[in-house]
Amino acid sequence: MERREALKKIAFLMGGAVSATTIGVLFESFTVLPENSSHLYSVSDEEILAEFSEIILPSTAKSPGAKAAGVGTLIPLIIKDCYPANLQAVFKKGFDEMLVLSKTKFNKEFLSLNDEEKKQLMNELKQQSIDNNHEPSFFLIARDLTILGYFSSEIGCTMAREYLPIPGKYDGNADYIPGQKAWAT
């Protein structure tokens, strides 16, 4: 199975958790993009995206967060390999604008921000995407890919959700224990 086909199936399964923009990108027909149309992300960019994703899905006492699941490395990979050139440009422009906003608003690099400052920045990006009628934006794409990447990772499937590694028969009438995690299998 090709990566794009797998992503389409994951996006379909996640349904309501992923925005229409991301689902649209995954379901549209793709062509091979010229090499010069893709934006390359550095290791420090991946580290920034890892911190960004950790704000969306932080570590808890019960499971590690998005950073531990490797989402910071996954986001640029999916952007480069699966998104058309116009959305790659939207993502890159928004990413660069976030870094500039961090410097102008807090006079610090993104990675130097404390947790409260990162949340303020995140809320501002979220509000901008709402004000733009949910047009494709860096925030929406990064948020959706964080959710997609986390809940399709080993950590997301085995620690954040209930996981039963032993194959068995399907039981659609399994008892639900209040407070139990959603099933990953």
Could you read off the pLDDT of 12-49 as tens digits, one per residue? 566 545 555 555 655 554 545 455 544 578 899 999 99
Q: Are 155 and 132 in contact (CB under 8 A)?
A: no
Least confident of 2-16, 58-72, 96-110, 111-125: 2-16
At 103, is the pLDDT very low, low, confident or very high (cuts 50, 70, 90)? Answer: very high
pTM above 0.75, yes or no: no
Please tell me the predicted confidence (pLDDT) of residue 160: 84
Q: Point out which residues pair with 183 in neighbouring strands.
A: 162
Question: Per residue in 112-161, pLDDT tens?
Answer: 999 999 999 999 999 999 998 878 999 999 999 999 999 988 888 888 88
C-beta neighbour count of 117 within 10 angstroms? 15
Q: Are 46 and 142 in contact (CB under 8 A)?
A: no
Please tell me the predicted confidence (pLDDT) of residue 19: 59
Q: Is the pLDDT of residue 102 over 80?
A: yes
